Structure formats: C-alpha cells, structure tokens
Amino acid sequence: MPKKRLPKELWDPLREKVWIRDEKKCVRCEKELKINEFHCDHIKSGKFGSNAESNLRTLCRRCHVLRYDFRHGGMIASALRDGIIPYNWRELVWEDEEL
C-alpha cells in the first residue's frame, strides 16, 4: 500500500471501479466476488506503490493473503483462524512474475 491512504470518499468509488473493471472476479483464481467480499490489492506497494487504477486489482481474501508481500503478515493469523488458508499455507504463497 502507498504511504498515504486516500480518504474514504475517494477510495470507495475507485475500489468499485477496479472491481467492475476486473469483472467482479478475483484476477488470480477467477472466483466471483461481491463488492463487500473482495480485496483491492496494490500490485506495487510501499514507497514505489500508488493508488492509481493501473496499480490496483481485485483479489479474493485467500489469494490476497497468499500473495508474497512482507506487508501481508498481519493477515495470516486471522486467515488461519477463519479457515481461509490451511496450515501448510507457506507452500501456496505466490508472487507476481513481472515484479
């Protein structure tokens, strides 16, 4: 995620636009998602990331948690607790080939 968060009034419409652009599906596993279910993932995050639409994509919770990004560590415990990922989750971690 970029250093600065957008205000909710700007973030919510942008997030919905990305979801519609991605045909309301996870771009990784193609699971159909409701607007209140999907995660709006920053392809490049941190100081090199931005909130530009081209840097955002729709992911389901499972694919988002399993995407390799050291910033995602906080999501692992709750995903394990909720049964979203299995205990052998490390074997399932993926990363973007182009990054």
| pLDDT tens for each residue of 46-61 | 788 899 999 999 999 9
Cβ atoms of 35 and 19 closer than 8 Å: yes
pLDDT over 50 at 99, yes or no: no
Domain boundaries, the chain: 8-91
* pLDDT band per the 50, 70, 90 thresholds, residue 3: low
DSSP one-letter string for 27-51: TTT--B--TTT-EEEESS-GGG---
Fold exhibited by the domain 8-91: His-Me finger endonuclease fold (3.40.1800)
* pLDDT band per the 50, 70, 90 thresholds, residue 98: low
